[in-house]
Amino acid sequence: QPVTVNLTEWKIEMPTSLQAGARTFKITNSGKETHNLKIQGQGLEKALSKNLKPGESGELQVDLKPGTYKVYCPVGAGPTSHDSKGMAFQLVVTELK
């Protein structure tokens, strides 16, 4: 079942914990700026192939292993990066029961 992700200014709305396995992230940019989604951790580093303009959507296929991941918006750099403005959190992936 897909994971719904909503991107707005300086916020990523999605579950903060998921079970391990192959996941499809359905990502929508509901904000007024360009955004993207990157998942990094456990040897994995994956982002959408292109940034999403306001109103655009995309899908990201990821095979998650148990552990913690950093989920963030990789747009911008330094103090103006979306990551530093709050578009980042830690995702916890648990073993399949």
- 10-residue stretch averages of pLDDT, the chain, 97 residues long: 97 97 97 98 97 98 98 94 97 92
Inter-residue contact 91 to 66 (CB < 8 Å): no
Residues 6+ apart with CB under 8 A from 1: none
Query: Residue 96: what pLDDT?
Result: 83
Query: Residue 35: what pLDDT?
Result: 98
Residues 71, 89: Cα–Cα separation, whole Å: 6
As to burial, measured by CB atoms within 10 angstroms (0-12 exposed, 13-18 middle, 19+ buried), residue 56 is middle
Query: Residue 23: what pLDDT?
Result: 96
Query: Residue 97: what pLDDT?
Result: 76
